[in-house]
Each structure stands twice: as C-alpha cells, then as structure tokens.
Structure 1
C-alpha cells in the first residue's frame, strides 16, 4: 500500500488533537500532500546540510521539527529571500524532495515526541509530576503539560551534568553543557521541558534538584541569574540538543505505523566548539 504526505499528516494530527490546524506552524514547505513517498528523512532543522544529505540518500520527503522560514529576517527582507532561504529551496527543487514540519504536533506527541524522547534519552523514566509551561510576560500557560519532573538514581550535580554532556555528544551541534550550582549537590529529581518550554519556578516548588534548560529560552538576565539567586541548580544545553532525540524517535515511529516506509534521521546541523579561557 502506498503512503502519501497526506496520510502521514492526517495520522500525526489525528493523535495530536489539541493542535489547531488553522493556527499551527506545522505546514508543507514544498511538495503536494497527495504525493506518494517511500523514503523519509527526519531532522531538527531543514538546514541545507540536512536537506542535501537527505536528498543524496534519495529521500522523497524531509520532515523537520522547526519551520523552514521565519518571516522577516531583517528590515524589509523576508527569510525566504535570504541566501540561506534560497539555498534551502534550491536543494528541494533540484532534488524534487518534499519538505514538511511537525512542531506543535510533535512537541507533546505521546512517548515518541520531543518531551518524552528527551527525558528518556537522559534515562529519566520515572515520571513524578507534569506541569504546563508558563509564558513569561504572556500571562498564559501552554496547552499541554510540557514540563516533567522525574526521579533518578541518587547522584551529584557534577556527575549528572557529565552524564548529560556525554549522552548528548552524539549530536554534532552539541558542544557540552553549562552547569551552575554546587557540583557536589545531591540530585535525586530532575526537571526537563520541551525545547524552549523550560522548567522554572513550578518545578522548583515541586522539589526538583536540578533544572535542565535550553540556551534559546534560558536567558542569562531573566532566567538563569534569578534562578541562581534562589539557589537553583541548572544545566543548560543547546535548543537543538534537547529536541534531536524526538526527531530520532520520529524516524522509528513512522516505520512502525507505516511499514512500507524507509526512514533515516539526519543530524548535519553546523557543529560547534566551546573554547574555555
């Protein structure tokens, strides 16, 4: 039986029933939803290196988590008309490879989505509590429970941070972790989130020994320094590092649901190196 882009989208949206189809950013960037696909690539960002790798492998469809474009990138310059925007579309057109993204639907997709894949990637399988993310300054909560508190084997902040760094080293875009707090502090419970939906005060009040944050949302001024003033232990990773496990799991999930498909996870985002003086 053939599988179309529509089949994949309808399946994902059917489970992620909380997502408003009219308002979501989960869109088709290139291609027609009636197109039949046989080989699917998954990855965090539809950047040129990921798209080229998938195209070279003969993928009919690339599914990213993040969107391809973000409106204006500079004054009077739409992101589709930037050198990188044109390069992305050029790869898709030349390879005739369709491209879609699952962001809102995959963030809290059960078991395989960004939230659950990230915590299980860190061996955080004993779930203690869940809470919705609160948008700072927005006076509103996320629609789903983006944040989790999990119990872990007793360890220290330093040892757990080292474990996170080693675990994430398989992703080229990861360049270690930033740790703030007493490295000898005991850790028995860990709070994680969904990408930029990071744990904060709500998880501290539930007794989290450490919060695992992402740099794109954990601003030094408004998040990390205030939390440290409260004595909260912090581990901070790159945004993509926390979401790539979910895209790995998507590749596994699609084959389970659609056995006719061949899938491959791609992690070709530009690598980073941290220099310490």
Structure 2
C-alpha cells in the first residue's frame, strides 16, 4: 500500500486520545494529505532552512512540533501576510512539500513524548513526581551551581553554550522541577516538591516567575525552548521510523535557536587555602565497606570516573588528565582513590606547585551519590598523607567561594585562607562573612 501523508497524521491522531481535536493545533499546515510520501523529515520547527534541508534529503512530508507561520494556530492574517510567510508558502506549493504539525499529541505522549524524553535525556535522576507538562527529578544532594554544570554538560551536546542561572550558587538542592514548552508553571513544580527549577526561555518570564522564585529563594536554571524539546522530537522520528520502516525518516533543523558571545566564563571567585604544616595529621578513617589505595597504572579509568561524577559531568578524559598532571615526575601512586567494592567513589591528586616546592591537593572529588558519609574528609587526609610521604611540609588547594561546605571543612582540617592575586584579603573577609551567614542558616558546621 502506498503511504500517504494522511496515513502518518492518522497514526499520530489515533494515539492522542487525550487531545481535544476541536481545539487542537495538530493539523496539516501546507500541501495535500493525499500526497504519496517519499520521505519524512521531523524537526522542532518548520523554518525555511529546515524545509529546504528536508527537500534536499528527498523528503516531501515535514512533521513539525512548532508553528510554521509565526502564530500558534498558523492562521493569523497579519502573520500570513508577511513577506517570509508568503515566500515560504510559495516555496511549499512549488515543491509539493506537505507540512503537518504534531504538537498536542507529542507534548503528552507517554514515555517518549516531550516531557519524559527531556527527563530521560538529562539523565540526572529518576522522575519522582509528574503532571501533564512537568516532571520532578530526584538527584543526589548538590549545590545549585553543581546542578548548573550537570545540565550544561547535557545541553552543550545540543548546541547550547550556556545555562542561565539565578539564585544562590551554594544552595543545596535535591529535587529539580523541569518544564519544556512555552507555558511552564514554577508554582506547579514547587507544589510537586521541587526545590530548584529548570525552565525554558519561552516558558518562563524572568520579571514575573523569575522574581517570584528569587523572593522564594528557589534557584532557577533556564535553557533554550528548542533544546528542551529536541530529545522528544528525535524520539518522534525514531517512533515514525519504527511504524513506517519502508520510508526514510530524518531529523532536520537546528537544535538550539541562538548562539552566545560572552566576555567571561562565569562570575566564580577562586580561592586558595594553605595548610602550613603536615605534622601530626589525623589518620584516615573510612566507613565500613570502603578501602583506600594508591592508583595503579591500569586504573586511570577509576580516577576519571570519580571526576566525571563529582567535579565534571563527562568532560574529564585522558587528554584532560594529561594536561592536569603534565610533568615527567608523575607517578600513578600520587593519585589516591577510595573504593566501595569495585566502584571508585572518591579521589585526589597528591601533586605539587609549578616550582615543586609546595605540595598541592589537585582535583579532589567525591561522587555525588556518595556524599554525606565522611568521604570528603577521608580523601583530603589521604592526599595530605601522600604529600607528606613525598617530602612536602605544606599543602595548598584551590576551591571556589560558592563551595561553602568545602571551605568550612577545609578550615576545620587546618587549612587557612591564603590571600593572593586570586583572592585578596578583602575578598577573603567577604567570603568568611558569607560563610558565617551560611553557617547560621544551615547549622554550625
């Protein structure tokens, strides 16, 4: 049987039992439903460049998630009368391209629709609460800024160069509310138990919901609308390929709607801390079931695994390691790793400064899902003991001002503020004042 455009539309419509078809935007926007299909292109939006890409691939049916003619219903007379709309319509008629919009069906399609596909793509934690258009994800308890880095690692693969953030970087979060489309309710996600919100640029207004969340003290992360929905659009293409195996199906169009030119990476304030002596170090104490040992030659994977679940989110590879420990004197035993069975859970490099006169704790991390068991203190002490064994009498480390828990822990372990060109005495005074305020809010630690 010849596959017609209407057969594809009918398949999608029969799945959407939740759609009010008298009020739905899902419909043909251009071309004849009785057109024999040579190929199917699936894209987030049927921009001129996207439909031309589809045409070049031999597709004559374009399934779009968002509007074609700049209006939600694709029927606004003013929008349809604009030069780009007229030019696009003429091009579609000339080429015979059929455009069908699948929005209302795919926004709520179980498991592979827009919200669930976004949650699955993020991969930061399981869904613990859901309504029609929102999900709440349970994640290991991390700072809001660590959550930003986790999200950025995922969205950069879809072409987004940054994540917008407002709130306190050091605030601890464990339930992330996620929304996707142009209508995202922060209040709904808070009611569902979220303590941080990940929204889209079209779905939330900074002056309205953004200010509300700021006054509520809830961190807000914002990503591009398209980026949050591309995982679902790609799953739609895979679904159609399964349903119509004899017809080519292609993903087309852009995955992020903008680029960024930034004058700086972020507003992070780096800090250096010094332990003036390595005498009388406390012993390393580990919870039952954990073991500490130096890294072996064939265990670089273990160190990278810890880094990619603590300091990074997949960006630490062998090239990064070679750059971080670029010195002929390097030995695998300089790296200390704590294991839980055959799983590496914490690690640190017992390294040295550029002039080799100062010991340095380098790239220390504890897996996010292993925090709270005292492993941060244990791996710090393990690094200090290894530095002492290497003959160093002092140790330096680098951290950031938003890592309040870490700064407090290092102070308890004998480290002192080290004002320098990175952070002056005045900066340290501010950091210590903020730390006192943080302790008052979070309990003396």
TM-score of the pair, normalised by structure 1: 0.86
1:31-62 deviations in Å (ceiling 9; x for gaps)? 22122213111111111111111111111111
> Contact between 2:183 and 2:204, CA under 8 Å: does it hold in 1?
no
Paired residue for 1:275, among 253, 262, 276? 262
Taking the aligned partners of 1:170 and 1:228, their CA distance within structure 2 comes to 29
Matches within 5 A, 1:65-80: 65-70=65-70, 78-80=78-80
Partner of 2:162: 176
Partner of 1:212: 198
Paired residue for 1:224, among 201, 210, 221? 210
Ranges in structure 2 where 5+ consecutive residues have no aligned partner: 265-445
Q: Do residues 158 (structure 1) and 132 (structure 2) align?
A: no
Pair 1:213–1:54, CA change in 2 (3 A): same
Paired residue for 2:154, among 167, 183, 191? 167
Pair 1:11–1:162, CA change in 2 (3 A): same
Matches within 5 A, 1:62-101: 62-70=62-70, 78-101=78-101
Q: Do residues 26 (structure 1) and 26 (structure 2) align?
A: yes
Partner of 2:179: 193
Ranges in structure 1 where 5+ consecutive residues have no aligned partner: 132-144
Alpha-carbon distance, 1:71 to partner: 5.2
Taking the aligned partners of 2:236 and 2:67, their CA distance within structure 1 comes to 16
Query: Which stretch of structure 1 is more off in the superposition, 63-72 or 81-90?
Result: 63-72
> Contact between 1:215 and 1:239, CA under 8 Å: does it hold in 2?
yes
Pair 1:157–1:79, CA change in 2 (3 A): same
Partner of 2:331: none
Taking the aligned partners of 1:156 and 1:2, their CA distance within structure 2 comes to 55
Query: Which stretch of structure 1 is more off in the superposition, 39-48 or 117-126?
Result: 117-126
Alpha-carbon distance, 1:70 to partner: 4.2
**Structure 1 counterpart SS, 2:157:** coil
Matches within 5 A, 1:120-131: 120-124=120-124, 126-131=126-131
1:181-216 deviations in Å (ceiling 9; x for gaps)? 222322322111231232412322333121111112
CA RMSD of aligned residues (A): 2.2
Partner of 1:234: 220
Alpha-carbon distance, 1:77 to partner: 6.1
Taking the aligned partners of 2:19 and 2:140, their CA distance within structure 1 comes to 35
Taking the aligned partners of 1:199 and 1:47, their CA distance within structure 2 comes to 27
> Contact between 1:45 and 1:68, CA under 8 Å: does it hold in 2?
yes
> Contact between 1:107 and 1:194, CA under 8 Å: does it hold in 2?
no
Work out which structure has the larger RCO, using CA pairs closer than 8 Å and 6 or more positions apart in sequence.
1
> Contact between 1:175 and 1:274, CA under 8 Å: does it hold in 2?
no
Partner of 1:250: 236
Higher Rg: 2
Alpha-carbon distance, 1:237 to partner: 1.1
**Structure 1 counterpart SS, 2:13:** helix
> Contact between 2:163 and 2:222, CA under 8 Å: does it hold in 1?
yes
**Structure 1 counterpart SS, 2:175:** strand
Taking the aligned partners of 1:91 and 1:273, their CA distance within structure 2 comes to 31
Pair 1:157–1:125, CA change in 2 (3 A): closer
Taking the aligned partners of 1:155 and 1:5, their CA distance within structure 2 comes to 48
Q: Do residues 261 (structure 1) and 259 (structure 2) align?
A: no
Partner of 2:311: none
Partner of 2:118: 118
Alpha-carbon distance, 1:272 to partner: 2.2
Taking the aligned partners of 2:136 and 2:71, their CA distance within structure 1 comes to 35
Partner of 1:104: 104
1:103-153 deviations in Å (ceiling 9; x for gaps)? 11111111221111111111155221123xxxxxxxxxxxxx211112123
> Contact between 1:218 and 1:224, CA under 8 Å: does it hold in 2?
yes
Query: Which stretch of structure 1 is more off in the superposition, 46-55 or 209-218?
Result: 209-218
